[in-house]
Amino acid sequence: MPWTWQYQKQGGAAFDGATAASQGFPTRADAESWIGETWRELLDTGVDQVVLLEDDHVVYGPMSLHPAD
């Protein structure tokens, strides 16, 4: 599956949690839907921001998981 999310701490440091990258998704839409449903859980586990990857190429990010002030 070519679409994955990379989890990061603020400032771009790799997240050292149990999972450093998400499961794979068959489409970008699937990956974006999944992050929309799970971002709060990721934030609660210590993930501050995410980067969307297609294979090994950055599509966009980092995108903060923290609510806007």
Give residue-wise pLDDT tens across range 10-40.
988 888 765 556 789 999 999 999 999 999 9
Query: What is the extent of the structural domain holding 49?
Result: 3-64
Question: Is 69 domain-assigned?
Answer: no
pLDDT interval class at 41 (50, 70, 90): very high
DSSP 8-state symbol, 57: E
Residue type at 23?
Answer: Q
SS3 of residue 2 by DSSP: coil
pTM above 0.85, yes or no: yes
Question: Is 31 domain-assigned?
Answer: yes
Q: How many domains does the chain have?
A: 1
CB 26 within 8 A of CB 52: no
